[in-house]
Structures are given as C-alpha cells and as structure tokens.
Amino acid sequence: MRHVPTRLVLAAGLGLALAAAASARHGAAVGQPQPACTPTHDKTAAPREIDLGDTVTVTLSIGGTCPSRDIKADIVLVIDRSSSMARDNKLEGAKAAAKAFVDGMDVRLVQLGVIAFDDVVEIMAPLTTDKARLQQAIDDIQWNTGTNLVDSLEAGRQMLSSAARRADAAPVIVFMTDGNHSVASPPISQLDAVIAAVRAAGIETFAIGLGPDVDPSVLRRIASDPSKYYDSPTAQELTGIYLSIAGRIDASVLFKTVTIDDQVPGNMTFVAGSGRPVAPNVSPDGRTLSWTLTDVATTGATLTYRLRPTEAGVHPTNVSAVATGIDGWDAPHQLTFPVPTVKVNAPPDPGQCICKIVRDRVPTSVIEHAIANPGRILGWQLLLDPGKPDQPPNPRRACLDLRNRGIPFHPLFNRVLWRAGCVVGPS
C-alpha cells in the first residue's frame, strides 16, 4: 500500500479486533516486542548571519518510518455535485482529490464505493476493488442543482449495509460538500436521525467542508468526532485532505499525537504571526512556543517561525526544544532537537549612519543630539515599507535624515524636523 498521512481510530469492538489481528501478523503477539516507529528530527536557523534588527527563520522538522498495519476497510466517498461546485474549479478539484484517494488505497484490503449528490442521490459505483471502474465513476460526476445532505449521508449508510459489505472490514464514509441543505424534502431536521443510524452501524465518518458557504456545525455533527472534520478553504487543499484521511484509514501514521515545546531565549523575540503552516501557542511571557499535532504522516511535518535577536553576538535560537508524542503503534517518544546558532552583527555606529544632506547642512552638535534622542526622529526603527513582511529586503529605518530637505537649517529661525532613512546614502 502507498502510505499517506494520518490514522483512523477504528470503531469500538471491530476496530480493536482488527488492530489486534494486525499486530499479531506483524509479530506483536503476547510476549513479542511491540512494533514502534522510528522518528527523525532536526532544527535549523537561516540565515546563519544577520544584522541586528533583522529576523532569522527557525525550522523544526520531524519525519521517520513506521511498520504498516494490514487493516481492511469498506469506504464510501460521498461527493457534492451541486451547481455551486461548478465554480472556482471546485468540482474538478474534488474529483482529482477523490481519484488520488482511490489510487492510494490497497485493494487487497480496501473496497470503495462512490456516491454523488445534488438535490438527488446517484450511486456512481458500488463497493468494489476495481480501481479503473472507480476512477471512471468519479470522472463521470457532473454538476446539477440542489444540495441534499440528508439523503446523501443515508445513501452512504445503506451502501455500507449492502451485501458487498464485509463483516471483517471497518466501515467508513468520507463526506464532502461545499454548501448547506437546500431541499424541502427531506428537511434538514431529519439529518440527526440519519447521523444516529450511521453511529449505530459503527460507521466512522469523515466530513469535509469546501469553501466559505458550509455550516461547520452541521459537518461536525456528521463527523464521528471533531478531529474528523476538515475545513478546505479552496479546492487546492482537497487532495491533501483526502490523502490525510486515507492515511488515517490505512493507519500508517508516524505520530498519533505529538507536542513540541520550544523555549525562546531572553535575547530573542518571537515575531507575531510568523508561524507556518501552524501558528504556535505562545505563553504570556512570550518565551514558550507550543504546537500540538495529530495524525502526523510518515512524510513528516515542518514548522517554521521567525525570531528577532535583541543584541549582537553569536546566540542560540532557543534554550531547548523537545517533542513528546505517541507514535502510530502507541509507543512513546521524546525527541530533543539540536540548538542552532545565529551570528548577529551590531549595527554601524549611529554617528556614521547620517545622510549626506544632513552632514552638509546641520551642525555636529545638533546631529549628536538627534541621534541621542531617536524618539524625536520620525520612523526610527520602523519598517521601510510597513505594508510588507518584517523581513529582508524590508529593513528598518535607522539613518538620520532631514524630514524637510527644502528648509535650510538655522538655529534661530526654524527647527529641524527629522526622519529616518536616506534618499542619498549615508556618507
């Protein structure tokens, strides 16, 4: 099987039995060592040399390998084909994501079916292991009007109650929509009864909301638990989401959960809003950055953020960084990241960072007084372009300049108005 992100926690009873059977097949029987994943980790800082006032990008990465689990599953893909799906490439994105999902499944273990819905429901393919048939069924989906969430979810439940359903396979629905229920019959009020029937049948349900028009509260009810609801702002994220769900079903997950705690040193400041792709939780004193990730695939995870050093010298970018988690085979791990350093160059002597026109027009004593009182200088240490990110090549203003170059300096008849930054470079 081609392993892709994250893990499905199987339905009680059946899921536990399947997991136990898989463990036994892989040598995890009673008295045998429990399989475990082999994680890798690293931490880097770039660039390794900066000027004081600039920022350094810190990157935390985890990856690794895991023994696979052979778990059977019967999966139904329920796909919205309402007219709104024809906009913004949503339907084509959904079809591409569903085909990638099918391609990633091992049909020795998995059966799949495809259901499309608008105001009515259409069975595009029953449960089958024929990938060509499934791919063609997905290609054949065309948009139509209306959105019927109730009957489409019920159709998924019924397919997993059909004769093709295998008793030793975990039943799963992957439900995707870009809108709200729009038909009068059945009314949306009947959705809860369908959800209850899905739960009673032991069906694990993932729900994906595509675009801004979905009602997350409805889809969270459809999902088996909050971790199985996915928000996809655009169609571009759909393939990653479907592959993430595929990995949860296939159970090839590096970490079920992992928490990373990163201690920022006293001479570094975290740049707010710089966390990518996940923003960290920041302690009130700004010194501890924390991320909690779930269902991390063996392809790994990478986190980046930026720090601004507050003093010159060679400094570590963190006090310590530790990841603590439970891997895909329930084995505990604690990983200590390396501590990268960055060389921070001191700024030039402020007395040397003076625009030429200032040197030409202003007495030395007035220049020295201005440099000693940067609070009186317009824009001092503010970004050169406030509308752009706080990073190179957008430096902070630091050179002394006249705010109004058209007014000659005179100690009796006019005051000097200062600004930072030179049109003509410092001399």
Q: What pLDDT was estimated at residue 250?
A: 67
Q: What pLDDT was estimated at residue 4?
A: 34
**For residue 237, what are the contacts with CB-CB under 8 A and spacing of at least 6?**
none
- Which ranges in 204-268 belong to alpha helices (H)? 216-222, 238-250
Does residue 421 carry a pLDDT above 80?
Answer: no
Q: 């707010």: which residue's tokens?
A: 272
- Position 245: which residue type? I
Lowest-confidence segment of 165-169, 188-192, 209-213, 403-407 by average pLDDT: 403-407
pLDDT range class, residue 251, cuts 50, 70, 90: low
CATH 2.60.40.740 residue ranges of the chain are 14-68+253-345
Global confidence as pTM? 0.52
Q: What pLDDT was estimated at residue 32?
A: 54
Secondary-structure percent of the chain, ordered helix, strand, coil, rounded to 5 = 25, 35, 40
Q: What angle do CA 393, 397, 400 make, to 5 degrees?
A: 140
Does residue 186 have a cis peptide bond before it, meaning omega lies within 30 degrees of 0? yes
| Coil, helix or strand at residue 116 | strand
Residues found in the chain: 427
Read off the tokens for 414.
Answer: 């006019």
Q: 């949306």: which residue's tokens?
A: 188
| CA distance linking residue 186 with residue 343, whole number of Å | 66
Does residue 367 carry a pLDDT above 70?
Answer: yes
Check if the beta carbon of residue 292 is closer than 8 Å to that of residue 303. Answer: no
For domain 14-68+253-345, give the fold.
Immunoglobulin-like (2.60.40)
Indicate the average pLDDT of the chain: 85
Counting Cβ atoms within 10 Å, is residue 33 exposed (0-12), middle (13-18) or buried (19+)? exposed
Does residue 400 carry a pLDDT above 90?
Answer: no
Lowest-confidence segment of 155-164, 315-324, 327-336 by average pLDDT: 327-336
Number of helices followed by number of strands (H, E) in the chain: 9, 21
| CA distance linking residue 10 with residue 253, whole number of Å | 14
Q: What pLDDT was estimated at residue 388?
A: 80
Provide mean pLDDT across the span 258-275: 95
Beta bridge partners of 420: 400
Q: 């229920």: which residue's tokens?
A: 181
CATH 3.40.50.410 residue ranges of the chain are 73-250
CATH architecture of 73-250: 3-Layer(aba) Sandwich (3.40)
| CA distance linking residue 94 with residue 138, whole number of Å | 9
| CA distance linking residue 208 with residue 254, whole number of Å | 23
Provide mean pLDDT across the span 213-224: 96
Does residue 52 carry a pLDDT above 90?
Answer: no
3-class secondary structure per residue, 252-318: CEEEEEEEEEEECCCCEEECCCCCECCCCEECCCCCEEEEEEEEEECCCEEEEEEEEECCCEEEECC
What does the buried/exposed string (b/e) look like for 364-390 if buried means 16 or more CB atoms within 10 Å of the residue's CB?
eeebeebbeeeeebebbeeeeeeeeeb
Summarised one tens digit per residue, pLDDT across range 114-130 is 999 999 999 999 999 99
